[in-house]
Chains A and B, each alone.
Chain A
């Protein structure tokens, strides 16, 4: 039986052009490899974003995560593609030339296409957000955003749509129920504070991907925390005590200079 990790590595290698062999049962701590742990569900993504640079970085990040991306920079072309071809998720920028993002969203929903739509926009106003969600968008991400956040949201959206609608997140023997907010490791309940839960949730959503302190800080505190990201380190420390201390396999790893990664060796 081929190791899951090996399969992942092969899938991603065409992109990063790096040859890595991973043995069964090995815990990989190389940061660049961490992202390859996530199972590539090969999600088909339609990206409609007029800013070429943002579009290219998002495409790169999604492709690395194992998704297939069709990037379109023009509003009109986006409207036609979104309403004619099937996709697993649509990432839509609101400020588009030629055709407003809201129009595309309206057209998609008017044709009863239920593809999840994630809105990207520079307009972070509550009013705009409410308008977008009312129009039928599934999620909303304000610019500037972190790629980890974007990838995590795409995962949630595709999972939500697919048969795997379970609220459970697994990393090794660590299980998080996002509905009841219960966390167990090896069957034993782990008691977490609200903030610890928030940090762990983000790490588990991005299991296998390195997340920066900045991204954690933004996700958990919604940018409301002005202080430097040192608080993140304190919470990670507390999580380590609660989640990893009593177990030989450490799920939370530090990626020096970058951030943290959560991952378990596949068995």
Chain B
């Protein structure tokens, strides 16, 4: 019932309502009809009994039996029964088929003989008891017809109420459907859009007003979030810029001893971390506020992957990590070079960091129907099952017991960067054998010629401020 569309529900309800109406109407009609017919019968009974009593008054006393001939013809035709004071039946109309009309002391009452129900009035006169029965055939026939009529009407009403209810509900809900479609079109991209106001000042208009108000508020808070990201960016970066410039200025002082310079260098590198953390938070704020702008272009992924593998070798050399690669000669994808490199570096840095001594990192790339993919797997400990669904969340880390370097933003940033390019980043598996991530990117829009004489498009100009990735 819950899963049904509203119009179907309305149709069902109208059906139930029609049934109740017909049932109730019939009941009332039957009651009124019965009362009406009964009062006619009662009047007739009163008239007939008067005639009969007059006839009885003319009969001689102490009769042992009364025959039909002793009664007037009009009375003899009736279903009557005359009993003496001692209970002996003096006369019984032949239509009663030797059955008594007596049924307790109540008067009037109803009794059934054969197929007929009689309305019985009892009178006493000169020691005689007269019971007069009037058949209720008319009442029964009327009620039977009424029942029949309802039975015929019911399926017709059922069909009409179901279809009618469905139609009426569909008509009434049409503006609601329109609003739903219009509201679905209003996304973060164009929050300034509003729903068209209907002409009639009805409930739909009120709903539209309320929704438009909500969109208004939503747009305001969205713009606020975007402005915050931009303002905070400025506010946070200015002091870091000053700090950096000051440290670099100090470092260029010749009188500095190497030990002092080394300390300053450490501080300098911390400002780099601070600014990349700031950059990362802002990127996520921007992503939350409506997405990061990315300008993916057709690019060969292999040189990018090669650069990152080079770094992984350097980073993994301390831990004797082997790198296995399975790469095609060229792999063209729709990718923002800088952002893709950042994602791959993050995945590879993690693959080194979470690997075991002497472990292996496998990098595989290729093309599939749904796009271009790069998988990076490492032989480190598996991500615990209860953590795996949350590894792309902010500040989530694979191993909570062990404190390792990292701010826990890297993977969520990497995923945002992947989606911004029209791709995807997911954890394929993490078991005792390997932990494997897959970066999927879109294929180039148009298949370009494979002729090597045609120069490949140069990568996009180098972006300046990009952030550090950490897991």
Contact = CB atoms under 8 A, between A and B. Distances in A.
B268 A61 contact: no
Interface in A140-199: 140-148, 193-195
B465 A124 contact: yes
Interface stretch (A27-35, A39-47, A83-91): A27-35
Interface in B227-269: 230, 233-234, 236-238, 240-246, 248-249, 251-262, 264-265, 268-269
Contacts of A32: 252-255
Interface of B is mostly: helix
B272 interface: yes
Nearest to B279: A124
Given A35-B252, A144-B240, A212-B248, A124 B464 contact: yes
A91 to B, nearest CB: 13
Contact of A257 (B265, B292, B303): B265
Nearest to B406: A226
Contacts of B295: 126, 130
Interface in B264-302: 264-265, 268-269, 271-272, 275-276, 279, 282, 286, 292-295
Contacts of B259: 257
A33 B310 CA distance: 34
A53 B245 contact: yes
Contacts of A143: 237-238, 240-241, 465
A129 B261 CA distance: 34
A214 B268 contact: yes
Contacts of B230: 123, 125
B466 A222 contact: yes
B271 A144 contact: yes
A80 interface: no
Interface in B292-338: 292-295, 303, 306-307, 310-311, 314-315, 317, 336, 338
Interface residues of A, number: 60
Interface stretch (B26-34, B54-62, B70-78, B340-348): B340-348
Contact of A223 (B236, B261, B349, B467): B467
B469 interface: yes
B254 A210 contact: no
Contact of B244 (A16, A95, A144): A144
A60 interface: yes
A122 interface: yes
B316 to A, nearest CB: 11
B234 A223 contact: no
A260 to B, nearest CB: 12
A234 B261 CA distance: 20
A132 to B, nearest CB: 10
B315 A231 contact: yes
A218 interface: yes
Nearest to A196: B310
Interface string B391-435: 000000000000000100010000000000000000000000000
Nearest to A60: B249
Contacts of B87: none
Interface in A224-259: 224-229, 231, 234-235, 255-259
B470 interface: yes
Given A61-B248, A257-B264, A258-B264, 17 more contacts: A31-B261, A51-B242, A53-B246, A54-B242, A57-B242, A124-B465, A125-B286, A145-B244, A212-B268, A213-B269, A214-B271, A221-B345, A224-B468, A226-B349, A256-B262, A257-B256, A257-B257
Interface of A: 16, 18, 30-33, 35, 51, 53-54, 57-58, 60-61, 64, 95, 122-127, 129-130, 133, 140-148, 193-195, 210, 212-214, 217-218, 221-229, 231, 234-235, 255-259
21 contacts: A57-B245, A57-B248, A61-B248, A61-B249, A123-B233, A124-B233, A124-B237, A127-B293, A129-B463, A130-B295, A140-B464, A143-B465, A144-B271, A210-B251, A212-B265, A213-B265, A223-B466, A224-B466, A225-B311, A225-B468, A226-B345
Interface of B: 230, 233-234, 236-238, 240-246, 248-249, 251-262, 264-265, 268-269, 271-272, 275-276, 279, 282, 286, 292-295, 303, 306-307, 310-311, 314-315, 317, 336, 338, 341-342, 345-346, 349, 406, 410, 461-470
